[in-house]
Amino acid sequence: MIADDAKYTVEEIADLTNINSSAVFRILKENLKLRKVCARWVPHLLSEEQKRIRVEMASQLLTIYEDCDQRRINEIVTGDETWIYFFEPETKLNNNVWIGENDTRPQIARRNRSVWRVMYALFFDSKGPVAQVPVPEHSSVTGQFYAENVLSQVVEHYKTTRPTTSTRGIKLLHDNAPAHRSEVVTKYLKENGIAVLPHPPYGPDLAPCDFWLNAVIKEALQGRRFESRHAVGSAVFQCMKRILKEDYRAAFSTWISRLKKCVQVNGDYVEGLIYM
């Protein structure tokens, strides 16, 4: 039965087999050595070919960065686009409080996420924030916008912070969105001497913005209500500025750990398989 449908409950098996539920539970646990778990949510059901590509790209990156050489890590800049809402309600976990033995459990009205939102392109390196670019309202990220408005700010950052070398030697880690792979972006990066690091398709678990920065920012903004795009931008800027330099550096160490785990699990998603 379990081989045909692993979702059967103890009660359902008991009803179908005329065995009492305690005996069913004992058979499942002690005789068959089974345990009931929830299915793991993943961004995409990976094919074997996609898993092979993930292992291949992770291995390529590990040949360069496995030893966490800080000089090499300092050359990486990473970024991605994410939605920031005018109001992001707090999670239930954020409202946990200590109460006395005879106290009444407090109540909080449920609030919904705002429909108003701003898309931001956020970039950082091991030393801190690099660029924060809002996408105009009712617009999408095209290759031209990404090159002229986003990557141009990344380039300006390094011209300011590295006046001698500028973007020479900088390695860009971003995902495979169509705009990122467009001809205009490829040309712009080549003109500015920025190399692109390999990143597998369907790989948010291997993207520092996805597995770390975006979550940190959104958690920090939970419960706050903003009245304008400018107010949202100011809050995001302050949030990125308050993150410790050590935390930015640690994000890349975590990235390397995830690359290693990806290889160990033969290209499967690492989310939920390692502790952050």
In the chain, what percentage of residues exceed pLDDT 90? 67
pLDDT in tens, 47-71: 999 999 999 999 999 999 999 899 9
Q: What is the mean pLDDT of residues 198-223?
A: 93
- 81: nearest Cα among 193, 188, 174, 206: 174
Residues 6+ apart with CB under 8 A from 99: 105, 106
Q: What is the mean pLDDT of residues 64-88?
A: 93
Please give the Cα distance from 240 to 229 (Å, whole number): 17
Single-letter amino acid, residue 144: Q
Single-letter amino acid, residue 199: H
Kindly report the pTM of this predicted structure.
Answer: 0.78
- For residue 73, give both structure tokens: 């890590």
pLDDT in tens, 174-196: 999 999 999 999 999 999 999 99
Tell me how crowded residue 134 is: count the other CB atoms within 10 A of its CB: 17
The yes-or-no verdict on residue 198 having pLDDT over 70 is: yes
Q: Please give the full DSSP string across 211-260, using - where no structure is assigned.
A: IIIHHHHHHHHBT-B-SSHHHHHHHHHHHHHHS-HHHHHHHHHHHHHHHH
- State residue 114's pLDDT score: 63
- State residue 143's pLDDT score: 97
Please give the Cα distance from 207 to 160 (Å, whole number): 26
- Residue bearing tokens 């092979």: 52
Q: Minimum mean pLDDT among 46-55, 195-204, 213-222, 264-273: which range?
A: 264-273
- State residue 229's pLDDT score: 94
The yes-or-no verdict on residue 82 having pLDDT over 90 is: yes
User: Which CATH architecture group holds 48-92+109-264?
Assistant: 2-Layer Sandwich (3.30)
Task: Check if the beta carbon of residue 2 is closer than 8 Å to that of residue 32.
Answer: yes
Alpha helices in 84-223 (DSSP H): 143-145, 152-161, 183-191, 208, 214-221
Question: DSSP 3-state assignment of 155?
Answer: helix
pLDDT in tens, 132-191: 999 999 899 999 999 999 999 999 999 999 999 999 999 999 999 999 999 999 999 999
Tell me how crowded residue 36 is: count the other CB atoms within 10 A of its CB: 12
Please give the Cα distance from 11 to 9 (Å, whole number): 5
Domain coordinates of the chain in residue numbers? 1-37, 48-92+109-264
Q: Minimum mean pLDDT among 40-49, 79-88, 207-216: which range?
A: 40-49
Please give the Cα distance from 152 to 145 (Å, whole number): 10
- For residue 24, give both structure tokens: 């069913």
- State residue 275's pLDDT score: 36
